[in-house]
Structure 1
Amino acid sequence: MLMQKSESYVGSRLIDLFIGTAHIQPPASQSSDGLPDIRPAFRHEMRTMVKEQQKSSRRYGVIKCDPLVRQGLDRTAKHMVIPYMPMLIPPICWTGYDKGAHLFLPSYVMRTHGARQQRDAVKRAPREQMQFVFEALNTLGSTKWRVNKRVLSIVDRIWSNGGRLADLVDRTDVPVPEKPDTEDETLLKNWKWHLRAAKKKNSERHSQRCDVELKLAVARKMKDEEGFYYPHNLDFRGRAYPMHPYLNHLGSDLCRGVLEFAEGRPLGKSGLRWLKIHLANLYAAGVDKLSYDGRIAFAENHLEEIFDSADRPLEGRRWWLGAEDPFQCLAVCMNLTEALRSSSPETTISHIPVHQEM
């Protein structure tokens, strides 16, 4: 208890020093001839939380950052050090609790998050009992991936133009309503409600923008590599996940659309059929509930739109944007267009991962 109290005092003092020394100056002020507009980057405020049911209130402190700080964080998210990047060589095969995966980074076969009993149980498990788990993780880790440059270029164009398409977040904040010049309680209450809603929306957008920047930073860094690998380990439930957290094949539509197998294979008759089924599944909107033949018919009935999506993703009719998973749909449109325009569609090389429910 005494240790926690001491830690609180030390933490409070450090925050106080930080607020007192961290300042920010707007770019416009830096170039002007007048006095510089230097202001605190962070400030401490007290707020009152009203508990309506108990008819009481409680005061609490918050630390607010200047809007320029948040804008700077948006821009610099792409330059953050990203943990556990994909590997350019196959990962080390798992042979023990902490033996496998990355060459130099600490790697553990299970993410126990400090649960000592679970960690010790995994350590004590006989190697022969874990062998099937190790083999499965090694198989996942030895799968070679690469960046689909054509899809990434479309993502970059949309993002540089402000987002807002294909489920990408808007890169601008929603306007924050100004306080009305009135004492009318109803109008003030309405303003506070809209103010809270705008701030909440902007906070969500900020988080989503940082997430997109991190994913794109990895994609841009890896786009010229011939291929790369994702070491896998288990979560506490025993489910396998890539150790890299941002751009991976279990992520969002953006991640899955930008990634493809590095080692392609000829489609063959079966592969061409499954590519059409996969397109219908990605488009969804009820189409994914049809029979396999119905899904194939959907793809064949929309060949004109598929070709247009592949040829002119942003200048054409943008049919692919109507898909539930637009970037994956666009990737399939491009591959299917290449195959169907070929003199031998079944020999066309495909790098597309086709998802199947097992």
Structure 2
Amino acid sequence: MLSINSKLMAMFDKNPFDFIVFSTFNLPMTVPPRPWIDRGTGGPLYTAGQDIIRNMFEFKSVRLNDEMRQRIQSPAQGRPVFDALNQLGSTPWVINEPMLDTLKTVFGQSGCKESEPLLEKLGIPMRHDTFDVPDFVKEFGNVKKEDVDVEKFRGYAKKKAEAVKMRNESNSLWCWMQYRVVLADHFRGQTLFFPHNMDFRGRVYPLSPYLSHMGDDVNRCILKFAKSQPLGSHGFDWLKLHCVNLTGTMKRASVADRMVEAERLLPSILDSARNPLNGEKWWMSSDEPWQTLAACVEIEKAMKYGGDVASFPSQLPVHQDGSCNGLQHYAALGRDNEGGVQVNLTQCETPNDVYSDVAQRVEQKRKQDEESNGEDRDVALKLREALPQNVPRKVIKQTVMTTVYGVTMYGAVLQIKRQLKAMDIPGEDAAIFARYLARKTFASLNDAFTSSMALKDWFRLIAKGASDLMKTVEWVTPLGLPVVQPYCRLLERKSKLVLVPIPMKQVDAFPPNFVHSLDSTHMMLTSLNCANRGITFAAVHDCFWTHANSVDEMNQICRQQFVSLHSQPIVEQCSEWFKTTYLAPRIQKILPASEVERFSDIFTVKVEQGELDIEKVKDSVYFFS
């Protein structure tokens, strides 16, 4: 392992660089990006073409862009996808300078050990020189290593390794924060554009890895729309609602209750805006403190704008988040009424929480096991001793969340075990309880999302069918983007290098990738329709942003496009695609008739849909909220 000489590093510390140099490919643009055109060619730079699909190191053997383009049948195919990327990249932004000034003030305290509690609360890393690393001489004096007690030296070595690890991790995060602060400062007063590309599934990302709206709380607080829009009749209410939503304290409350809370908190909101670092500091208690402060500042500016708040030119993006969006798509595909209710596809007085619902179902199953004479009775009773309260939401949340991403039983056990150990349940018992709770969690999900989970199993089955035929799994999204799963390895066959699919990865990845391609399609449809109506739009996957005065209209578009998307026979089209692609006439000539019939049966969907009326999404307040 190579490392830089410590004396050279010490020289760098004493003589820091005057400039940080960034590649222009990794920076925002100050002119509108050149558009992507047919077949995904073109791209944002005016002097060179770029790849529209992100080339990832783990797929270096697969030419992702070539694979996509070879499957495009006509120049018109995929145009809505490329148009959506162009729309997202043409949204102009500016630096939120008051927020940047506050951030710089706080970041400047990262070299002061006394500021650590404050900085930790605000997600600001400490500088590397604030960490105390144990020193051998200070610990043992001027003695030889051989003269130190073995156990004492082991304790010292362990403490030093942990301290060095913490220091290095914090230094990495500190440098990452420095990059963003420096870039934001550099682009003060300029209009910025964030050109986008996508991964092989169609999920979109800004090209700039350092400064963009697709980042953490800090990244998002220092950006705002370049164009302003008057708040209008409901915009000020949306600003206040946005501020309360960011705190994360009222996720289960109705919109009416959140508005009441916003009015109650108004003095604290105004104090935070006027005196963020020396006042009550209410904003610091938020789940997203920096974005909350940005909302406080915008509210305070609007209230100072004379008597006509509706005329205030607002630039702050207001967010609307999908409610466990992956499961929303699964529930829509399977028309699961019960699951649809839990992920807010239907109208309700207050937002439902699928994680709490699953936790309640797991608790019911635990009680049933305690009262039965089944094989799980002993584990359930022992779990009751260790965990007397109802099964906490946090124990099963990650497993429910990652179900849509294809989490396996093994992965679910590890997730739940981690949560149980954090609750001081011993390791051996935690492993037994985690296996039990993982099984009950999957069973509870099957109860609520019966058709959806059956569809997920069918997706795995057809992916295995494709792998058995030695083919990669591929499909075409509703907007015409060809998707090819790149999980392959290079093998030599008859003196030639060939790409061979990795069956397990192809099977495990297909259900989450298919759903990701659908949530990306929904975002793109919303983007295109917002652009058609002249509405400013930005997105971070399933979190949609617009001006405060156009949130109502964006919400209407978002719901309409979800209904339109899932009114298509997506599952049936998937079935026909697999039959046409993997059982083409030339394949049928090679395979025995019995095998053709077997694969045809595998590729035929037999899952019965539930009774969810997809049109109800249009009336759901908390579908995206």
TM-score (norm 2): 0.45
Which residue number in structure 2 is paired with residue 217 of structure 1? 182
Which residue number in structure 2 is paired with residue 116 of structure 1? 62
CA distance in 2 between counterparts of 1:191 and 1:249 reads 43
8 Å contact kept, 2:42–2:49: no
Which residue number in structure 2 is paired with residue 92 of structure 1? 34
Indicate whether 1:240 and 2:204 are aligned. Answer: yes
8 Å contact kept, 1:260–1:352: yes
Q: Give per-residue Cα distances to partners, 1:52-106, cap 9 Å, x unaligned.
A: xxxxxxxxx5535417627837954961224422111111111143312121254
| Percent identity between the two aligned chains | 30
Structure 2: which amino acid aligns with 1:170?
Answer: M
Which residue number in structure 1 is paired with residue 21 of structure 2? 80
Provide closer, same or farther for how the CA distance between residues 242 and 70 of structure 1 changes in structure 2, counting only shifts above 3 A.
farther
Q: Give per-residue Cα distances to partners, 1:17-60, cap 9 Å, x unaligned.
A: xxxxxxxxxxxxxxxxxxxxxxxxxxxxxxxxxxxxxxxxxxxx
Task: After TM superposition, give the deviation of residue 156 of structure 1 in Å.
Answer: 0.8
CA distance in 2 between counterparts of 1:88 and 1:235 reads 24
Counterpart among 242, 264, 277 of residue 278 in structure 1: 242
Which residue number in structure 2 is paired with residue 14 of structure 1? none
Q: Give per-residue Cα distances to partners, 1:300-335, cap 9 Å, x unaligned.
A: 111111111111111212111111111111110011
8 Å contact kept, 1:91–1:142: yes
CA distance in 1 between counterparts of 2:217 and 2:273 reads 17
CA distance in 2 between counterparts of 1:67 and 1:218 reads 29
Counterpart mapping for 1:1-358 below 5 A: 63=3, 65-66=5-6, 69=9, 72=12, 75-76=16-17, 79-84=20-25, 85-95=27-37, 96-113=39-56, 114-124=60-70, 125=72, 126-162=74-110, 164=116, 165=119, 166-171=122-127, 172-179=129-136, 180-181=139-140, 183-225=148-190, 227-284=191-248, 286-342=249-305, 343-358=307-322
8 Å contact kept, 1:91–1:231: yes
Provide closer, same or farther for how the CA distance between residues 68 and 62 of structure 1 changes in structure 2, counting only shifts above 3 A.
closer
Provide closer, same or farther for how the CA distance between residues 192 and 109 of structure 1 changes in structure 2, counting only shifts above 3 A.
same
Which structure has greater helix proportion?
2
Q: Give per-residue Cα distances to partners, 1:147-180, cap 9 Å, x unaligned.
A: 0000000011111222742211112431001223
CA distance in 1 between counterparts of 2:282 and 2:224 reads 22
8 Å contact kept, 2:132–2:163: yes
Task: After TM superposition, give the deviation of residue 118 of structure 1 in Å.
Answer: 2.6
Provide closer, same or farther for how the CA distance between residues 274 and 202 of structure 1 changes in structure 2, counting only shifts above 3 A.
same
Q: Give per-residue Cα distances to partners, 1:100-143, cap 9 Å, x unaligned.
A: 21212542111133353432222222331110111100110110
TM-score (norm 1): 0.77
SS in 2 for 1:79: coil
8 Å contact kept, 1:102–1:231: no
Structure 1: which amino acid aligns with 2:43?
Answer: G
Q: Which ranges of structure 2 fall in alignment gaps of 5 or more residues?
A: 141-146, 323-625
8 Å contact kept, 1:78–1:213: no
Bigger drift between 152-161 and 176-185 goes to 176-185
Provide closer, same or farther for how the CA distance between residues 154 and 71 of structure 1 changes in structure 2, counting only shifts above 3 A.
farther
Task: After TM superposition, give the deviation of residue 354 of structure 1 in Å.
Answer: 1.1
CA distance in 2 between counterparts of 1:240 and 1:77 reads 35
Structure 1: which amino acid aligns with 2:317?
Answer: P
8 Å contact kept, 2:272–2:293: yes
8 Å contact kept, 1:145–1:259: yes
8 Å contact kept, 1:232–1:241: yes
Provide closer, same or farther for how the CA distance between residues 71 and 244 of structure 1 changes in structure 2, counting only shifts above 3 A.
farther
Provide closer, same or farther for how the CA distance between residues 70 and 203 of structure 1 changes in structure 2, counting only shifts above 3 A.
farther
Task: After TM superposition, give the deviation of residue 289 of structure 1 in Å.
Answer: 3.0
SS in 1 for 2:77: helix
SS in 1 for 2:35: strand
CA distance in 1 between counterparts of 2:297 and 2:18 reads 31
Q: Give per-residue Cα distances to partners, 1:178-227, cap 9 Å, x unaligned.
A: 223272222222111110110000110111011011111210111121x1
Q: Give per-residue Cα distances to partners, 1:267-301, cap 9 Å, x unaligned.
A: 123221211111112111x3233211222222211
Q: Number of paired residues?
A: 296
8 Å contact kept, 1:78–1:214: no
CA distance in 2 between counterparts of 1:283 and 1:344 reads 27
CA distance in 2 between counterparts of 1:193 and 1:299 reads 49
8 Å contact kept, 1:111–1:235: yes
Which structure has greater strand proportion?
1
8 Å contact kept, 1:176–1:198: yes
Provide closer, same or farther for how the CA distance between residues 72 and 252 of structure 1 changes in structure 2, counting only shifts above 3 A.
farther
Structure 2: which amino acid aligns with 1:139?
Answer: Q
8 Å contact kept, 2:40–2:82: no
8 Å contact kept, 2:93–2:226: yes
